[in-house]
Each structure stands twice: as structure tokens, then as C-alpha cells.
Amino acid sequence: MKKKTVTGIVFVILGISIYFSGIKNSEAYSYGPPAGYTGSPADGRTCTTSGCHDSYVLQSPKPWITSNVPLSGYWPDSVYTITAKAIKGGGFNNFGFEISPQSVTGTGLGTLINLNGTTQIVSGKYIEQTINGYATTTADSLVWVFQWKAPPVGTDSVIFYGAFNCGAGKKKSTAWIYPATLIVHQNKLAGVDNIENSATAFTAFPNPATTFVTISYKLKMSTDVEVIMYNTEGRKITSILNKNVMEGQNLQAIGIPPGTRAGIYFIQLLVNGQSSVQRIVVQ
């Protein structure tokens, strides 16, 4: 009886070991990789490491990270939507990823925000899939959506480093790993009221404005002057002045373009390649 009991215990332990080993192998994607497997210069690795998904070499980069950050750049402390999409035809139905917004030295930049249970945040600066977001039975691709709050003024470039996992079976080693990156820049007008060391400072009034704004500035010599109006996304609304202006104190009333919506705008004064910027409110 004792021998049978011992044998039974051994089989139970062996069975539990095999069961959990099987889960680890068959659902390796579901748990997500450990933090630091994005392939960034600071992380220095992806899941192609030995003992993981090492049957194939690291594949060529893919454009699988996209965002709604404008081409003019992100606005500090604003929230944007980031989309990660893995694609591989031929029966691939298990997918995973890990993405981190970093500087080139590995500092995490901005704040990652989960939108649903298909993603999870690890160690504060990494986001990856969960057990609810790694498998599909209807397509050869999988999409994850999350949000990112941009860092404060002065950060400039942010690189989203990512590594994607595409698998077709239960054996964890037989998966293809694809790197991906997305680079976004801070809007050049962000946080600027007056650009330091500019050739000329100016004031803009009234502020708030309605139909016109008056700018006051002083020139050391007669020169070409351009005044440009931008919205908060850094998109040029119009060039509202572009002409040669006499030296001395200048006071000019400039009409706000018809149809301009109420909101915050920036007036940029360009003189001899130097720039000054003032923030105005249009009512």
C-alpha cells in the first residue's frame, strides 16, 4: 500500500510539472515577455534569446507601430493613441508584443495608459499583450490599442521601440520575432512664449483678440519681416504679413483670417532668420 501511495504521489507531481510546463510552452505569448525585451539600444535584446523564441533569427523591421501624433509633433502633456499591429499570413494565430517609449539611452518617456484587458504595463515603461490579447481565430493579424501621455516640455524626440511575436503553434521556440520603431518629436512651438536670443522681441495685443491683433516690435535696420499664425498642433494657418519693414519702432494691426475658430493660437515673428513667438487667444 505504501509503495502504491508513493508511486501515486510521484505521478501526481510529474503530472503537475508537465501540465505547467505545457502551459508555459503553449501559451508563452499570453503571459507577455519580461520587461526589457523591446530590442532598444538600452534593452539590447528581444525574445530571440536562447531558450525562448530562438528557432529563427531576428527578422527585418516592420512599420507596425503607428499613432495619431501630428506630423508637426506632439504637444507636451497631451494624450495620444498608439496602435500596434502584428501581421503574418499562413495560419499564424498567436501574436505578442512589447513596446516602450524611450530616449536613446533607455530612459522611459511619457506615461503609458491601458485602454482594455488586452494590454498590460510592466515596470512602468513597457506595455505588452495579456492572456486576453494574444490569440485570434479569424485573421492572420492582431491589433492592440493603448494611449500615451506625452512628456513635459523640453523632451524633444521620443522613440517607441517594439518587438512583435508571431507564432502558429504551441511550441514556444517556433515563433518569428519582428522589431519595429516609431519616432515622434515635440512640437517646436510647445511651451514657447518668447524664444530666447531672438533678434527682436514683440508684443501682441489685444489678447484675447477677435477680428485683429496688433503687434509691436523694434528693428535695428530696415529688413524683411514675416508674421505667421499657427494652431496648437503647429499647423500653419496663414502668413499674415510678409514685407520689408522700416527700422525703428513698428506698430501694425493685422487682421485675423475670416473663419478662424475660437481657441489658442501662436503668432510667430521672423526677422533675419530669427524667431519670436507669442501665444494669443482668439474669441
Same domain? 148 vs 229: no
Same domain? 113 vs 215: no
Using 50, 70 and 90 to split pLDDT, how confident is the model at 6?
very low
pLDDT tens string 50-63: 677 777 888 999 99
The answer to whether the pTM exceeds 0.75 is no
Name the least confident of 28-37, 174-183, 185-194, 262-271. 185-194
Predicted confidence at residue 200, as pLDDT, reads 61
Predicted confidence at residue 17, as pLDDT, reads 39
Which of 135, 155, 184 is the last residue before a domain boundary? 184
Same domain? 167 vs 220: no
> Residue 144 above 80 pLDDT?
yes
> What is the residue range of 93's domain?
28-184
pLDDT tens string 79-102: 899 999 999 988 888 899 999 999
Residue 148 falls inside a structural domain: yes
Residue 117 falls inside a structural domain: yes
| Cβ contacts of 4 within 8 Å, gap of 6 or more | none
Residue 100 falls inside a structural domain: yes
Same domain? 209 vs 176: no
